[in-house]
Amino acid sequence: MSITLHSLTATSGLLALRRHHDAMGVAMERLTTGKRINRAKDDPAGMIVATNLGLRRMHLDAVIKKADQASATLDAAEGGLAEVQSMLTDLEGLVVNSANRGGMSDEERRANEGAADSVLQAIDYLVGTFAFGGRPILAEGFEVHSADLNVSFAGLGDAQAPRDALGLRELGLGESMNLMSGDLEAAQGAIKAASSKVATMRAGIGNTQRYELGARMNAMRVEMENTAAAQSLIEDADWAHETAELIRSRVLADATMQAIQISRSHAADMVTALLG
């Protein structure tokens, strides 16, 4: 009977020892990987939720990157338009200066006319060649359309004749609003209208960046932070808990091993006594 009890005790002890070693292995794996869920069997339902949260994070990250790129493109477009507006201001100054025809010589007016034509050519060149990411955005604009993001900038619409898009064709040499003999009042009005158009386009870019892109990106970043926190709560290991579990399992394993050794020692003593 005693030998049978010893056999049962030893078997129970070995089973308990295996459980404690398994618990130690789980705790060590979680501490090594930093994850509470390392395979589906650790928490099947939690794995599904964590996976879905991870997919949502990846989607949000992709949308945020696309929004950042759109914002950078708008920054570039606004910078190009600011330069166009600066040149329009210079052009208006030449028109105002040329309006004093009685106090200027033909050479001075001709110099102003040449300068004005150079400004118009510079506007044509800038709008026609200003590119971001290989695309002439001042002329053609750009757009981003998806389920989560809709951003567009129309551009001036004509890379071949930007001055036409701005209503400035008649300011050229020999045209009706030239600075030598043309209608300077009409020229000044055309320049003001062009400057107003450019200013409106710049304001539109600012509104898009601040109220559409900015608000959307802020909301997505908050959602991404919350999603990451929820995913971490589900799948990441609790370092304090796992460390305590590792120590607990190790102590129990040591105690179980000692109990098995004591049981074996008692059994050996009993056999010796019986044989003696």
Same domain, residue pair 97 and 221: yes
Same domain, residue pair 8 and 81: no
8 Å CB contact between 249 and 24: yes
pLDDT score for 39: 84
**pLDDT one-digit tens code per residue, 14-27:** 787 788 777 787 87
- Range of the structural domain that residue 178 is part of: 46-234
Same domain, residue pair 97 and 155: yes
Is the pLDDT confidence value at 52 over 90? Answer: yes
Which whole-number Å values give the CA distances from 12 to 5, 15, 111, 124, in the listed order? 10, 5, 107, 90
Same domain, residue pair 185 and 266: no
Q: How far apart are CA 131 and CA 250, in angstroms?
A: 66
pLDDT score for 174: 67
* Domain contains 249: no
Rounded mean pLDDT, 112-121: 89
Is the pLDDT confidence value at 1 over 50? Answer: no
pLDDT score for 87: 95
CATH value at residue 220: 1.20.1330.10
Same domain, residue pair 69 and 203: yes
- Would the pTM of this model clear 0.75, i.e. be above it? no
Same domain, residue pair 114 and 168: yes
Same domain, residue pair 17 and 60: no
> What domain count does the chain have?
2
**pLDDT one-digit tens code per residue, 175-217:** 777 777 788 888 899 999 999 999 999 999 999 999 888 888 9
Same domain, residue pair 139 and 265: no
Same domain, residue pair 172 and 80: yes
**pLDDT one-digit tens code per residue, 211-235:** 888 888 999 999 999 999 999 999 8
pLDDT score for 81: 94
Same domain, residue pair 153 and 92: yes
* Domain contains 240: no
Mean of per-residue pLDDT scores for the chain: 83
Kindly state the tokens that stand for 256: 């179980």
* Domain contains 160: yes
Rounded to 10°, the helix 44-98/106-129 angle is: 170
Which whole-number Å values give the CA distances from 132 to 135, 136, 138, 141, 199, in the listed order? 5, 7, 9, 10, 20
Q: Which long-range contacts (CB under 8 A, 24 or more apart) does 163-172 make?
A: 163/120, 163/123, 163/124, 165/127, 166/88, 166/123, 166/194, 166/197, 166/198, 167/193, 167/194, 167/197, 168/91, 168/120, 168/123, 168/194, 171/91, 171/116, 171/120, 172/117, 172/120
Q: How far apart are CA 3 and CA 191, in angstroms?
A: 110
Same domain, residue pair 108 and 171: yes
* Domain contains 245: no
